Structure 1
Amino acid sequence: MSERLPKWNIGPKYELVRKVGKGTYGSVFEARDTTIGEKIAIKNVKSIFEDEIEAKHMLREICIMRTLDHPNIVKIKDIIIPVNSDSYNNVYIAMEYAEADLKKLCKSPTYLDHSQVRFLMYQAICGCRYMHSANIMHRDIKPANILINSNCSLKICDFGLSRSYRRLNFEEGVENSKREQWDHCVEDDPNQRAKKGISRILTGHVVTRWYRAPEVILMEREYGKEMDVWSLGCVFAEMLGMIRENIPQYVERTPLFPGKSCFPLSPDLSTNEMKAGYPCSEYDQLSLIFQIVGTNQDLTFITDPKAKRYVEAFPPTPPKDLRDNFPAITSSELDLLKKMLSFNPRKRITLDQALNHPYFFPVRDNNYEILAKAPADFVFDGEQEVDLFTLREIFRREVSRYRN
């Protein structure tokens, strides 16, 4: 029996084919542009104007994606809204189509060879480097946001948590609320966070837990593009796990740091284990990181005394030999991975340095190594108060940019 397709109000230009995914904001369908026969993906963003914060997030994502033009970053093709309505609540976003994402591939009986991993990582670094040159940080790089086609082409997607550099510093009230959590641990509960006046985007919950850099975990007052490099390193490790000689059984693949909690913003309050007076379980995110990189780290980047005492309370742990995880890893793969997973962000390899690593010499291509011509400058990138009527009008303005 064929899949029943929803009746989306997307007009005659697009024809839905099949459902390919479901995200935070709604379903994603493979579709066809009937005018040129091109395969695309359409995301249905439901009830977007019922929550001002979520509407801002989606608008920010659209604005950011409009400013980025790189072969390794997914492009928006069209934005579809009702033509004659002042109270529309759904938005349809047509984007470049990709056959799969890395998360799905990791869970499938698909294997990569060393050359494929190299080319995929090269593209990911090129796309992220371009993004940073436009003053944009992704802040949620993970396998699910890495789209891959059968020809090994790669595109970074989902810019819902992205920000421009000029918006990275936390607002004073939010920052103070965050700092309180070193003294008053609360569960990772939306109602609790709302009581403390902490929005979802500014709590430090940027980056899905398993790919979250140490400086973000420790709630550093300022963090930079180095956090994306850490996340890319975690993605690199999962790609290496798809090489058959590293992990023969695909069902045994796992993220490098699969934490079950992340102190202090989402601690395991059921544990009795304490460090410097704070709860910390064996499977806490920072614990798992130390089990791999070791505890003998340069902590000079940590600015909060409580955070530093907490880190120093971990028992001495030597770094793990990553060859235990990846027996077939090459010396150049190992060197790059370790440099991307430097605990101190100031000592982490930069993306420029990564491109010049000998690992990438066989695949370098000037067509991928382009930089943004100017910093991104778009209409909406803030936490300013905006009423829903104005948000709808901004959406209409952004739609017109795609149509012109």
Structure 2
Amino acid sequence: MAVSVDPPSGIRNRGKHYYSMWKTLFEIDTKYVPIKAIGRGSYGIVCSSVNRETNERVAIKKIQNAFQNHVDALRTLRELKLLRHLRHENIVALKDIMMPVHRRSFKDVYLVYELMDTDLHQIIKSSQKLSNDHCECFLYQLLRGLKYLHSANILHRDLKPGNLLINSNCQLKICDFGLARTGSDKGQFMTEYVVTRWYRPPELLLCCDNYDTSIDVWSVGCIFAELLGRKPIFPGTECLNQLKLIIDVLGSMADTDLDFFDNPKALKYIKSLPWSPGIPLASLYPNATPNAIDLLQKMLVFNPLKRISVAEALQHPYLSHLNTPEPDPVAELPSDDDLDAAEYLREDKIRELMWNEMLHYHPEAAVANS
């Protein structure tokens, strides 16, 4: 539980109150009443809280020493800039970014999201029974959120069960946009930071720079398979092993399916593998419906040019009965949100850009500092 503590020595409250959770100090705006810590990740600790002005339940993520690692600072900045413009029922909403006391020296960043009950990783590894209806429901919402992102040419690039938040009513929301890119700047970032390995498509395993929205479709296919089988389909230990596991299941590739790739070393490795007939997905997932297997096969296609699109997947017989006549919303991002040069920014500039993002949630601070 959250334990109220006195401010650190020499610090006045200044509209904040202080709590200790998991041996970590939280400096929180007084309108938020923290309840308990609910999660810990590589980028911070998350606690549940209540906004006493609106009585809304929220999740507060503290990113400690946000500027200690340059790549992590850029991830945080990118997520803030993207989430400010994304509005979709299957995308997690960023409600607030708390203003720090000191503009030019703050180290920690506090993000306030809508509160969700759990994530898909926790559900998959639990003993809870997952019916075909559950799989349809989760997959449909994931694809709807992804279609919205792709409508603005945004690639999520890190879809995995842990980045899919779930409520008790089975509502799903995509989160963690630190690796997301628009189509224009996706090649600007180091591919080793793209997509957790088990959900990484062949084109990224083969270090191909020429990739598009189909990389997210492969990740969705891996998540779908994990829903059906309650374990990862390709749990590789490193990149070459990951490729081998994929070939073991999908079977050896024809030369025409390898023309897309231009990494001679990786292609030589693939061609050196013993011939594999593949494993029928229906035998891996005997309880799945024929339509589920057919859609999964169309997602897990080695050649990205032949992979099903998100829009096509939503029209597939496995999911088409869930579609509604209302048009899907379209995401729009202003052109000035391009972060092409962000990798070369100094810490003070990244801090300034984060401050500017905070001002969108606190216009009164902009007036006070003008």
Shift of 1:142: 0.2
| CA displacement at 1:324 relative to structure 2 | 2.1
CA contact (8 A) 1:296 1:318 kept: no
Q: Deviations over 1:13-56 (max 9, x none)?
A: 11111111111111011111111111111110110122333212
Q: Secondary structure at the match of 1:42?
A: strand
Which of 43, 64, 87 is the aligned partner of 2:61? 43
**Mean alpha-carbon deviation: is it higher for 6-15 or for 366-375?**
366-375
Q: Does 1:240 align with 2:228?
A: yes
Q: Which amino acid aligns with 2:313?
A: A
Where does residue 390 of structure 1 map in the other structure? 349
Q: Tell me the C-alpha RMSD between the 2 structures.
A: 1.8
Could you tell me the percent identity over the aligned residues?
40
TM-score w.r.t. length of structure 2: 0.88
Specify every segment of 5 or more residues in structure 2 that has no aligned partner in the other structure, as ranges: 4-19, 364-370
- Distance in 2, Cα, partners of 1:327 & 1:229: 23
2:330 alignment partner, one of 371, 375, 384: 371
In structure 2, the residue matched to 1:56 is: 74
**1:250-289 maps to which residues of 2 (within 5 A)?**
253-263=230-240, 284-289=241-246
For residue 390 of structure 1, report the CA deviation from its aligned partner: 1.9
User: Helix, strand or coil: the match of 2:133?
Assistant: helix
Aligned in 2, Cα 1:379/1:399: closer, same or farther, shift over 3 Å? farther
Distance 1:353 1:30, change over 3 A: same
1:354 match: 313
**Which amino acid in the other structure matches residue 52 of structure 2?**
T
1:129: how far off? 1.1
Partner residue of 1:109 out of 118, 122, 127 = 127
**Cα drift, residue 379 of structure 1:** 6.0
| Residues 336-376 of structure 1 deviation map (CA, whole Å, 9 limit, x = unaligned) | 00000000000000011111111112211255832224676
The Cα offsets for residues 153-184 of structure 1, whole Å up to 9 and x where unpaired, read as 100000111111111224xxxxxxxxxxxxxx
Residues 1:366 and 1:24: Cα distance change in structure 2 (over 3 Å): farther
Specify the alignment match of 2:196 in structure 1.
208
Q: Note if 1:295 corresponds to 2:252.
A: yes
Task: Return the structure number with greater relative CO, CA threshold 8 A, min gap 6.
Answer: 1
Q: 1:377 to 1:303 in 2, by over 3 A?
A: same
Q: Bigger shift: 365-374 or 284-293?
A: 365-374
Secondary structure of residue in 2 paired with 1:48: coil
Check the 8 A contact 2:85/2:332 in 1, yes or no.
Answer: no
Please state how far the C-alpha of 1:203 moved relative to its aligned partner: 3.6
2:86 to 63, 68, 74: 68
Q: Distance in 1 between matches of 2:312 and 2:124?
A: 27
Structure 1 residue 385, shift from structure 2 partner: 2.2
Gaps of 5+ in 1: 171-200, 242-252, 264-283
SS of the residue aligned with 2:105?
coil
Structure 1 distance, partners of 2:67, 2:126, is 37
Write the deviation string for residues 141-160 of structure 1: whole angstroms up to 9, x where unpaired: 00000111111110000011
Higher normalized strand content (fraction of residues): 2
TM-score by length of 1: 0.81
Aligned to 2:13: none
Q: Which piece of structure 1 moves more, 316-325 or 333-342? A: 316-325
Match of 1:167 among 178, 185, 193: 185
Aligned residues: 342
Match of 1:129 in 2: 147
Question: How far did 1:256 drift?
Answer: 0.5
**Partner in structure 1 of residue 360 of structure 2:** 401
Secondary structure of the structure 2 residue equivalent to 1:207: coil
Question: What is the letter of the counterpart of residue 355 of structure 1?
Answer: L
For residues 207 and 347 of structure 1, the distance between their equivalents in structure 2, rounded to whole angstroms, comes to: 20
SS at match of 1:359: coil
SS of the aligned residue for 2:72 comes to helix
Q: Deviations over 1:266-310 (max 9, x none)?
A: xxxxxxxxxxxxxxxxxx111111111111341121123333222
Contact 2:85–2:333 (CA under 8 A) maintained in structure 1 = no
Out of 216-225 and 366-375, give the one that drifted further: 366-375
